[in-house]
Amino acid sequence: MSILVMGATGTVGRSLVAKLAASGESVKALTRDAGRDLGFPPGVEVREGDFRKPESMREALRGIERAYLLADPDVAHSVVAQLREAGVKRLVTLASAMLDERDDQGNVVNVIESAVQGSGADWTVLRPRAFANNALDWWAPTIRAERAVYWVYPGASLSPIHEADVAAVAAAALTQDGHAGKTYPLTGPESLTQAEQVRIIGEVIGADIAFHELSKEQARHVLTSQHIPEMIVDRLLNMLEPMVETEAPVQPTVEQVTGRPARTFREWVSDNADAFR
């Protein structure tokens, strides 16, 4: 079975490529730049393509039967149509509440979800909440530099998920039966405030890490000055704000689908400890 992994060099995609290759699947890894050392396991075929340039995808989609789909919302429908024309019969995609929009009637819609759900293919939607991996972008640089984080809402609770667990659920949906037509909410196994997450990072690397609380406006300034689009920054801050003083939901989906408990945040930090040292 020939499986295309889009976003193969990304957080979830890289883990998914490794998992599928280890279980003997015929994996094709999509990237916009195949001319570099991508470090995939032996046997993985690299295919070059840019989902924003349909011409460039033609060769990349040759012979593909199933796909892990990642696309920008504005091209999601055309990318899905191209995958279907190429003969792809099963689509597993990653959606995010960050990409929810309201239609004219005020209903919440998610473009990538509606694209796969209307595709005629077997589809599975994965809806992870917060990736544990966000700690690399949000906190690792200042932890490395000065054993401190400058961040907003230390009391906001999340249930961060290890990307390997998202990939494990994606691999199951791509290779096993029984997942078609399902939308899977995905979380890690525990609700942790952001202050608790920073404390765990400190415990794993053996350092005291100071949490310097920023106001929402200060955080907005810091994030937009890192060239993150304002729309994404506002959605992130508006998402975190109501999470203060409430437990984050914890879903049993990872264990139900994969048969093993979701990895803890502490396990994720241990797997990535060097990024914080």
Ligand X SMILES: NC(=O)c1ccc[n+]([C@@H]2O[C@H](COP(=O)([O-])OP(=O)(O)OC[C@H]3O[C@@H](n4cnc5c(N)ncnc54)[C@H](OP(=O)(O)O)[C@@H]3O)[C@@H](O)[C@H]2O)c1
Nearer to ligand X, 32 or 58 (CB): 32
187 binds ligand X per the rule CB under 6 A? no
Question: Which region among 3-11, 116-124, 141-149, 265-273 touches ligand X (by CB under 6 A)?
Answer: 3-11
Question: Which region among 28-36, 39-47, 170-178, 188-196 touches ligand X (by CB under 6 A)?
Answer: 28-36
DSSP string, 137-160: HHTHHHHHHHSEEEEE-TTBEE--
Report which residue's Cβ sits closest to ligand X.
10
Q: How far is the CB of 151 from ligand X (least distance, A)?
A: 15
Nearer to ligand X, 79 or 121 (CB): 79
Question: Which region among 83-91, 128-136, 149-157, 220-228 touches ligand X (by CB under 6 A)?
Answer: 128-136
The strand order across the sheet containing 26-31 reads 45-48, 26-31, 2-5, 66-69, 90-94, 122-128, 182-186
Q: How far is the CB of 244 from ligand X (least distance, A)?
A: 18
Which residue has 């075929």 as its token pair? 45
DSSP string, 1-69: -EEEETTTTSHHHHHHHHHHHHTT-EEEEEES--SS---PPTTPEEEE--TT-HHHHTTTTTT--EEEE
CA of 95: how far to CAs of 16, 57, 99, 266, in Å?
Answer: 16, 21, 7, 25
Nearer to ligand X, 210 or 238 (CB): 238
Nearer to ligand X, 101 or 146 (CB): 101
Query: Where do contacts with ligand X occur on this chain (CB under 6 A)?
Result: 6-13, 30-32, 50-52, 70, 94, 96, 98-99, 128, 130-131, 134
